[in-house]
């Protein structure tokens, strides 16, 4: 009993509960969190402008560069759920601080990488680099449930800003000052992110809920307890939504992984033209996630938007199967970005609402692992399809898979309505 009282007093002193935060204070934290997200994405895309050129200098061919990318995917696949569990146990500030500190180490190791082995070693801190799930956790915890999808969608706006800023900044710094300076600049930027986290993010963003035996049992577990991570799949609707997120997202994920190859070999784009295309994609994402998704979530249910995104994704796949040039792709990419953005935001929102607030970090860590899984298996699947069946195969598979998922969800919805009537 005394332990419970002591812990409650400690939490009251920390002022960390999202219920204790005034609306103005919540909005301030969310806005700072958006800034942290934009900075994190900026340094990530800056790294994309450095690593390929450094790898080429160190003698990497396409095959070994693929191994390097797969290594990152595996590392983050393993680290995602653990990071989310860490965030639930020790709070948002500790989790985001760990991610930002790992980014500082990551870029410092990149700056001194002078051999193929060092280029692989510098990827190891990526096991803790999960800034985006950490930001999503803060936003999910502090925002009101009915506005969660809108708040999460704004992170996509930050992604677009970081994508454009990071690509531009990385290319400029790399061209004029070299890879080492660019990596050091990113390390300094990550240190700024760390200071923002320590200064503005509360120790915990979880709403105080009545404690029960299940919660105390959960808190007694370690970060590496797989049972506590996988138990989330037992909550109603979680497993179905999670499988839909993987299955429906896989074809589009494979296309994204192979996009750089498609841009060079199929669209015949030069580096500067590819940069313009990436900027165009970033602007589209900013507009869609910053100004469209929020309004849709206010008018339509999440289930309706999920069905819409999957149906639209199947039509996008069919259009991809018949596209011939980059001009056509620039039109196709509009509904593509819309469906992808809505799909990711809605599935993340549905999954976090399906589990207790004490487990939202772990759930978002699992969601992040889906992207890591796609980056891990995507190059193998995409390379096989591209070499044997060409670019149209990506679109056809996306069309078939999403049509099947759409029919399944539609039938499942009708069955539930029938059960309710009975």
Average per-residue pLDDT for the chain: 80
Q: Is the pLDDT of residue 220 over 50?
A: no
Whole-angstrom distance, CA of residue 51 vs CA of residue 126: 14
Is residue 363 within 8 Å of 87, Cβ to Cβ?
A: no
Whether residue 66 is contained in a domain is answered as yes
Residue whose token pair is 């060409």 = 390
* Local structure of residue 123 (DSSP, 8 states): T
Q: What is the dihedral of CA 38, 40, 46, 52, to 10 degrees?
A: -140
Confidence (pLDDT) at 21: 57
Q: Is the pLDDT of residue 324 over 80?
A: yes
Burial class of residue 112 in the structure, from the number of CB atoms within 10 Å of its CB (0-12 exposed, 13-18 middle, 19+ buried): exposed
Confidence (pLDDT) at 228: 65
Residue whose token pair is 């939504």 = 241
Cβ neighbours of residue 405 under 8 Å, at least 6 residues apart? 244, 247, 248, 310
Q: Per the structure block, which two tokens stand in for 281?
A: 């994609």
* Local structure of residue 207 (DSSP, 8 states): P
Whether residue 2 is contained in a domain is answered as no
Query: pLDDT tens-digit profile of 280-307?
Result: 888 888 888 777 887 888 888 888 999 9
Q: Per the structure block, which two tokens stand in for 323?
A: 């596209």
The percent of residues above 70 in pLDDT, for the chain, comes to: 86
Backbone φ and ψ of 303, nearest 5°: -65, -40
Whole-angstrom distance, CA of residue 277 vs CA of residue 283: 10
pTM for this one?
A: 0.72
- Which of 66-70, 170-174, 198-202 ranks highest by mean pLDDT? 198-202
Whether residue 1 is contained in a domain is answered as no
Domain count, the chain: 1
CATH number of the structural domain spanning residue 32: 1.20.1250.20
**Which ranges in 262-359 belong to alpha helices (H)?**
271-291, 293-299, 302-322, 326-353
Whether residue 381 is contained in a domain is answered as yes
Whether residue 326 is contained in a domain is answered as yes
The percent of residues above 90 in pLDDT, for the chain, comes to: 23
Whether residue 6 is contained in a domain is answered as no
Q: Which sign, positive or negative, has the C-alpha torsion 257, 262, 267, 268? A: positive
Task: Quote the domain boundaries for residue 349.
Answer: 20-206+228-417
Buried (b) or exposed (e) across 284-305, using 16+ Cβ within 10 A? bbbbbbbeebbebbeeeebeeb
């Amino acid at each position: 009993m005394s332990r419970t009282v002591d812990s409650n007093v400690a939490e009251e002193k920390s002022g960390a509960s999202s219920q204790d935060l005034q609306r103005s204070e919540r909005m301030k934290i969310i806005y700072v969190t958006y800034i942290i997200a934009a900075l994190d994405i900026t340094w990530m895309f800056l790294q994309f402008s450095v690593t390929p050129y450094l790898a080429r200098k160190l003698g990497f061919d396409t095959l070994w560069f693929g191994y390097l990318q797969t290594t990152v995917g595996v590392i983050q696949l393993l680290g995602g759920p653990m990071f989310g569990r860490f965030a639930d146990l020790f709070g948002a500030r500790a989790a985001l601080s760990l991610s930002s500190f790992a980014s500082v180490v990551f870029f410092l190791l990149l700056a001194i990488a002078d051999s193929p082995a060092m280029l692989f070693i510098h990827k190891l801190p990526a096991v803790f680099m999960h800034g985006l799930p950490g930001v999503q956790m803060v936003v999910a915890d502090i925002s009101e449930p009915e506005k969660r999808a809108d708040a999460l969608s704004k992170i996509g706006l930050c992604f677009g800003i970081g994508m454009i800023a990071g690509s531009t900044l990385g290319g400029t710094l790399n061209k004029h000052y070299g890879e080492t300076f660019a990596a050091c600049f990113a390390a300094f930027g990550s240190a700024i992110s760390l200071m923002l986290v320590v200064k503005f993010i509360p120790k915990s963003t979880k709403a105080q809920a009545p404690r029960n035996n299940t919660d105390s049992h959960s808190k007694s577990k370690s970060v590496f307890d797989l049972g506590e991570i996988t138990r989330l799949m037992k909550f109603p609707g979680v497993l179905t939504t999670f499988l839909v997120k993987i299955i429906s997202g896989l074809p589009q994920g494979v296309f994204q992984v192979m996009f750089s190859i498609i841009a060079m070999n199929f669209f015949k784009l030069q580096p500067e033209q590819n940069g313009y295309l990436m900027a165009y994609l970033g602007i589209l994402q900013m507009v869609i996630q910053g100004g469209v998704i929020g309004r849709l979530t206010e008018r339509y249910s999440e289930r309706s938007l999920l069905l819409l995104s999957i149906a639209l994704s199947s039509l996008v796949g069919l259009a991809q199967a018949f596209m011939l040039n980059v001009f056509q792709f620039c039109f196709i990419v509009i509904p593509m970005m819309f469906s992808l953005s809505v799909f990711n935001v809605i599935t993340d929102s549905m999954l976090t609402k399906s589990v207790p607030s004490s487990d939202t970090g772990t759930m978002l860590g699992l969601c992040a692992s889906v992207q890591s899984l796609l980056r891990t298996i995507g190059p193998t699947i995409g390379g096989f399809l591209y070499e044997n069946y060409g670019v149209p195969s990506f679109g056809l598979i996306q069309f078939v898979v999403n049509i099947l998922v759409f029919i399944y969800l539609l039938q499942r919805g009708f069955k539930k309505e029938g059960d309710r009537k009975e």
